[in-house]
Amino acid sequence: METIRHSLAHILAAAVQELYPGTKFGIGPAIENGFYYDFEFSEIKIVNPKSKILNPKQIQNSKFQIPKLEDLPRIEKKMKELIKNNIKFKKKIVSKKEAEKIFKNQPYKLELIKELPGKKATIYQSGNFIDLCRGPHVESTLQLHSGQAKEIIDSFKLTKIAGAYWKGDENNPMLTRIYGLGFLTKEELNEYISRQKEAEKRDHRVLGQKLELFMFNEEIGAGLPLWMPKGVILRKVIENYLYQELTEQGYQWIISPHIGKLDLWKSSGHWELYREDMYSPIDIEGEKYELKPMNCPFHVKIYQTKIHSYKELPLKYAEFGTVYRYERSGVLHGLTRVRGFTQDDAHIFCAPEQVSQELTKLLEYGLKNLKAFGFKNFNIYLATRPEKYAGAEKGWQKATSSLKYVLEKSKLKYQLDPGGGVFYGPKIDVKVKDSLGREWQCITIQFDFNLPERFDINYIDQKGRKQRVIMIHRALIGSFERFIGVLLEHYGGALPLWLSPEQIWLVPVGSRHKKYAKEIGKRLCANSLRVKVKDENETVSKKIREGETQKIPYLLVVGDKEEKNKSVRVRTKGGDIGEVKLDKFIKDVLSKLNSRN
Amino acid sequence: METIRHSLAHILAAAVQELYPGTKFGIGPAIENGFYYDFEFSEIKIVNPKSKILNPKQIQNSKFQIPKLEDLPRIEKKMKELIKNNIKFKKKIVSKKEAEKIFKNQPYKLELIKELPGKKATIYQSGNFIDLCRGPHVESTLQLHSGQAKEIIDSFKLTKIAGAYWKGDENNPMLTRIYGLGFLTKEELNEYISRQKEAEKRDHRVLGQKLELFMFNEEIGAGLPLWMPKGVILRKVIENYLYQELTEQGYQWIISPHIGKLDLWKSSGHWELYREDMYSPIDIEGEKYELKPMNCPFHVKIYQTKIHSYKELPLKYAEFGTVYRYERSGVLHGLTRVRGFTQDDAHIFCAPEQVSQELTKLLEYGLKNLKAFGFKNFNIYLATRPEKYAGAEKGWQKATSSLKYVLEKSKLKYQLDPGGGVFYGPKIDVKVKDSLGREWQCITIQFDFNLPERFDINYIDQKGRKQRVIMIHRALIGSFERFIGVLLEHYGGALPLWLSPEQIWLVPVGSRHKKYAKEIGKRLCANSLRVKVKDENETVSKKIREGETQKIPYLLVVGDKEEKNKSVRVRTKGGDIGEVKLDKFIKDVLSKLNSRN
């Protein structure tokens, strides 16, 4: 398929060459699900097609014959014509000198030729279009409308146009990139397009704004989310749930500051091995402080306030700790890739003989926890030693084996992620698969034999001897930010009842029903339900539309009949389910809430 | 009294001159509750008393005849002798030249003479001791053992010795400071001393460590508290209480990041007028970011996401926001003066006609809230425009009048705090008086006409016109850090039941009662009580002593009799209150809890 996609990129370039003479060509690879080609379109009415390289501003200001979205069907049509002409893809190896001659009007190709190792260059000719390319390609476009790929003519599609800096470097000129999708069958193409549309509808950045959950602001800074009132409710529901569950499991809670001396991060090894993820220091009275990228050293310092006996182990410290890690502004993405986020962090200090039991419990509960949020499918990874690491080879081997042992004992399928561990130890990562089949990292269970060594943390064993303690880092949801982003995409914003910031809207039919609506509202609130009485002077249908847009689980309409019968008319996302006695409604909703649906 | 205290300082110096010949004299003022004098004690066996000025290290290394704590009674005795001699305080104005002659062996006095303006110097002679001093003093020490001050001989006391840099500058030599207390009556002195002892016992820094509530760590940084597990429980009880109360009052919650672009703080005016309290910037991709000293600009940015109608006002945004403010390391003090702290912050956006009602409600609820935590006495301050300020004179006047109006309408006694306002507006501060009568700042209600102007924030009034919104900042407890510090000192660590991190300890008499203790433990936990079963192999009396030290509200001892009777033997801080049926105990405790006792 990659070969076909790559050949489609060449055909796109060939079509552009015919329709837009004088165009300069960048590169055109196959990508996931399709292909693209980068072009520099030349000025209209070219007399001498000798082009100069323009910077983005100049491009904006000059009259270029750059195609627009509405021109793509014309290019697509030309591509289909070319395909039907059964054009051959002829490979030829030429000297660099020859290549330079062939591409004498193509400055980008000339640049690429210069960078080629050796003295030769491979070129592909297909019809009038020649490209500098290593291939491989289909033999002829005949292959694209016969045999296995016979549907290609209907199963590729040009989709968008975007600016792209030559070689991805913002100091280079901006070229015009045309993207295409390419699949073997029309069915696959359509399926992909509709999945994309669904994903766009579920984009948590769009939903977050529409549902007023969170926001970003350029004046505050990229990647620094602000939680709005409804978002805080959602976040607190999750926080309270985890707090209660983990407290019952014997976790103890900690709150640590957001900055700490740079020297602490030197002692911990972060400055040496994790500096790329850290921000520049703050100076306080001549000493340097760092925004915390992790909570670990603080938890270690609390562990160190006492001598711990084996009887106290495992000792589990948990914190909803907000950490700050450097991400390039280009890779930031809504809540799922941010610069400041709150981890559901914990550190488990235990004796070596407790390790496998603790790991097993962690994995088991972690998966159960994700299921409580509605995720059913997971991929599990065992990530091993990365290039930069702390600690001895032997420790890594031993820790990796314990993780492996636990996965196998628990009969969990897993994949290896070679080199994917953190600098301080190997880890197990669990990624959930959302309703569109996309993977998201949630659980992480990480060994740490760096900090116990560096901070010399111990416990006293049964025989009164000092022993090095084992430290396990773990997160169950990862961070509130990413997890809520994932939840929104998984549910397309229609969160389950227990997670919905607003659970019930009461819609009085007329002004005279407002009193009854408010009475019901009070009763529902007294049952700890999150309720809003919609008493604005607007039509019932407008309120219902708004409630549906806002993904409110229950819209209760009350008029004369409902008031008389002490009932409500219930609408859910499943539709109108008619009149229900208020008492029964409350009972049903509370039972649904208790089962976290 | 100040005159008497000042004269006592001179007598202290006179006594030192007799007991430690060759001593060099610094200064000796009256201070709150007493006096001190700074001395440079000379080397033992002085042949030629020509002294040189030594640095602290040299002082440490050389053999000085510096008095120790146990020498103070000897000095005190000498002072009493001098007082009984009815020494006169003779004031004399001399030329600087004459003064230099008199103090030729006193380098510190010579330095002071040089700094005197004019050509004259005032000196006081009392017996053999002459001091450079403007006075005033008592006429004679006769006044110190007769008349109004006749008890002085028994109502002053030398209390401690400390090092103090000459003129408070660490580049100067370190002198020895002797402190004394001085009151008119012996009763006052004793009362002060016992109050001091009580305050020391109640020192929240000591209690915080003993009760394992919080900690500081030099490697992490001064003024950056770490909350330990029991401290987090206490903090969460307060947080949850405030969250519930304020949510019922219509507050909406926000979570904002801990850093924001420096430009934001320039727009807000903080960089111009609050910079001294802020830390040095962090660089991210060439842009500067600041740790937040306040949450306000973030709340403003959330307010700005929509156009607000008058119908939505007052709009109340609340946040438990952790802010970072610069404090010199020298002034840091436990939890009550820190560098990072979590405010119970809120901003109320309202229309001008809503201001006085909102302020009244705020004050009323704020006082009620403090009473819920056990504080009964308050001092209220109206703080007016400081030297550095933003906004127009007229706005300040108007806002100050509204605050005054509200205080007077509510019939609350208050004091003026001239110039005590924040740069952006005047404020009302409420300070609680703790069980030792000390004042602590809790409630603050602050006008802000800076941010609404700077960020141009508005609402739409009844007639559809854009109007400037009024912004009120407020905190009810101030910060969790300071408030918990104050609570600990107020209660001497013996927190009320509802606030105690551990409410009940179950102490089985023997091993065979552990099962019953655990059963009860489960039942109490199921009633949301915080319970610990003390099943270690230690004696009952040891566990009870420990429980008392840990200020546990209820110690329940269970043995054969209790198991048979389904009862518990209850000990509170009031003492042993005997056997109580378990059912009754649970009922009583829950009722106590509900009334927040």
- Asked if B506 contacts B531 with a C-beta cutoff of 8 angstroms, the reply is yes
Contact flag B301-A224 (C-beta cutoff 8 Å): no
Percent of chain B with pLDDT over 70: 96
- The whole-number average pLDDT for the span A120-136 is 91
| Minimum distance, in Å, between the CA of residue B259 and any CA atom of chain A | 8
Find the CB nearest A259 among B236, B324, B329. Answer: B324
Report the distance separating Cα B458 and Cα B470, nearest Å.
Answer: 9
**All domains in chain B, ordered by first residue:** 2-201 (3.30.980.10), 226-256+293-491 (3.30.930.10), 504-594 (3.40.50.800)
Residue A453 burial (C-beta neighbours within 10 Å; 0-12, 13-18, 19+) = middle
Query: pLDDT tier at B391 (50, 70, 90 boundaries)?
Result: confident
Q: Is it the case that residue A125 has pLDDT exceeding 60?
A: yes
Arithmetic mean of pLDDT, A267-282: 94
Residue A46 has a pLDDT of: 34
- CB pairs under 8 A, 24+ apart, for B67-71? B67/B20, B67/B41, B67/B161, B67/B176, B67/B178, B68/B161, B69/B160, B69/B161
Distances (CA, A) of B472 to A581, B275, B359, B403, B446: 44, 22, 9, 11, 6
pLDDT at A214 (0 to 100): 98
Q: Nearest by CB to A264, which of B219, B257, B289?
A: B219
Q: What is the DSSP secondary structure assignment for residue B338, as one 8-state letter?
A: -
pLDDT at A53: 52
Helix (H, G, I), strand (E, B), or coil: what is residue A308? coil
Q: Model confidence at A142, in pLDDT bands (50, 70, 90)?
A: confident
User: Quick check: A60 pLDDT over 60?
Assistant: no
| Per-residue confidence band for B435, with pLDDT thresholds at 50, 70 and 90 | confident
Element (H, E) at B217: strand B214-217
Average pLDDT of A276-293? Answer: 96
- Which single residue is written with the structure tokens 């009870």? B544
- pLDDT (tens digit, 9 = 90+) per residue, A412-459? 999 999 999 988 889 999 999 887 778 999 999 999 888 999 999 999
* pLDDT higher at B404 or B151: B404
pLDDT above 60: residue A206 = yes
Structure confidence at residue A44 (pLDDT): 47
Q: Does A312 touch chain B (CB under 8 A)?
A: no
Read off the pLDDT band of A392 (50, 70, 90). Answer: confident
* Strand partners of residue A37: A178
Kind of pairing between the strands at B377-383 and B415-417: parallel
Owner of token pair 């956006």: B349
Q: With beta carbons less than 8 A apart as the criterion, state whether A156 and A15 touch.
A: no
pLDDT at B227: 98
Residues of chain A with Cβ-Cβ distance to B227 below 8 Å are 254-256
Measured from the Cβ of residue A120, the count of other Cβ atoms closer than 10 Å reads 12
Residue B288 pLDDT level (bands cut at 50, 70, 90): very high
Q: Check CB contact of A324 with chain B, cutoff 8 Å.
A: yes
Whether the pLDDT of residue B334 is over 90: the answer is yes
Q: pLDDT value at position A169?
A: 83
**Which band of pLDDT confidence, cut at 50, 70 and 90, is reported for residue B169?**
confident
The string of DSSP codes covering B302-327 is HHTTS--BGGGPSEEEEEEEEEE---
Residue in this structure with the two tokens 């009132």, named with its chain if needed: A229
pLDDT digits (tens, 9 = 90+) for A321-352: 999 999 998 889 999 999 999 999 999 999 99
The residue whose two tokens read 């209390």 is B159
Among A160-174, A495-509, B125-139, which range has the highest average pLDDT?
A495-509
B413 versus A60: the higher-pLDDT residue is B413
User: Residue B43 — pLDDT band, cuts 50, 70, 90?
Assistant: low
Contact flag B280-A283 (C-beta cutoff 8 Å): yes
* Tens of pLDDT, residues A541-553: 999 999 999 999 9
Residue B61 has pLDDT above 50, yes or no: no
* DSSP states of A123-136: EEEETTEEEE----
The average confidence (pLDDT) of chain B is: 92
Q: What contacts A94, CB < 8 A, 6 or more positions away? A: A102, A120, A121, A122, A123
Tokens 């001699």 found at: B85
- Measured over all CA atoms, what is the biggest interatomic distance in chain A, rounded to whole angstroms? 93
Question: How buried is A115 (Cβ within 10 angstroms: 0-12 exposed, 13-18 middle, 19+ buried)?
Answer: exposed
Interface test with A, best of B244, B266, B289, B291 (most A CBs within 10 A): B289
Inter-chain residue contact A287 with B225, CB threshold 8 Å = no
With b meaning 16 or more CB within 10 Å and e meaning fewer, what string describes A534-568? bbeeeeeeebbebbeebbbbbbbbbbeebbeeebb
The answer on pLDDT for B341 being more than 50 is: yes
Query: Token pair for residue B417?
Result: 């705090």
Query: Per-residue pLDDT averaged across B514-527, rounded?
Result: 96
Which amino acid, one-letter code, is at B276? E
- Identify the pLDDT of residue A199: 86
What's CA B17's distance to the chain center, in Å? 38
**Looking at the predicted structure, is the pLDDT value of residue A51 above 60?**
no
B280 contacts A279? CB cut-off 8 A: no
Write out the two tokens for B574. 């009031």
A170-174, A176-180, A519-523: least confident range: A170-174
A47 pLDDT band, cuts 50/70/90, is very low
Q: Which one, of A434, A531, A490, lies nearest residue A207 by Cα?
A: A490
Q: What is the pLDDT of residue A59?
A: 47
Q: Identify the closest residue of chain A to B224 by CA–CA distance.
A: A257
Instruction: Tell whether B254 lies on the interface with A, counting CB pairs under 8 A.
Output: yes
Instruction: Tell me the average pLDDT across B183-202.
Output: 91
Task: Average the pLDDT over A71-91 and give the result.
Answer: 92
Q: B229: which chain A residues are within 8 Å (Cβ-Cβ)?
A: 252-254, 317
Instruction: State whether residue B305 sits within 8 Å of chain A by CB.
Output: yes
**H helices present in B510-566, as ranges:** 514-526, 540-549, 560-565
Q: Alpha-carbon distance A523 to A511, whole Å?
A: 20
Q: Is the pLDDT of residue B52 over 60?
A: no
The answer to whether residue A276 neighbours chain B at the CB level (below 8 Å) is no
Kindly state whether A393 is in contact with chain B, defined as any CB-CB distance less than 8 angstroms. Answer: no
Q: Do B221 and A284 touch (CB under 8 A)?
A: yes
Of the candidates A80, A230, A473, A482, the residue annotated as catalytic is A473
| B131: nearest Cα among B141, B142, B123, B139 | B123
- pLDDT confidence tier of residue B44, bands split at 50, 70 and 90: very low
Under 8 Å CB pairs connecting chains A and B tally to 156
- Whether residue A403 contacts residue A463, with contact meaning beta carbons closer than 8 Å, is answered with no
A342 vs A479: CA distance, rounded Å: 5
Q: What is the dihedral of CA A365, A367, A368, A374, to 10 degrees?
A: 150
Quickly list DSSP for B1-39. -HHHHHHHHHHHHHHHHHHSTT-EE----EETTEEEEEE
**Over chain A, what is the mean pLDDT?**
92
Above 60 in pLDDT, residue A291?
yes
Q: A252: which chain B residues are within 8 Å (Cβ-Cβ)?
A: 229, 232
CA distances from A486 to A113, A369, A424 (A): 44, 15, 27
**Does residue A266 sit at the B interface (CB-CB below 8 Å)?**
no
Chain B CB contacts of A221 below 8 Å: 257, 259-261, 264, 284, 287, 289
Given a contact cutoff of 8 angstroms between Cβ atoms, the answer to whether A231 and B275 are in contact is no
Contact A525, A505 (CB under 8 A): no
pLDDT of residue B64: 53
Residue A538 predicted with pLDDT over 50: yes
Does B282 touch chain A if contact means CB atoms closer than 8 Å? yes
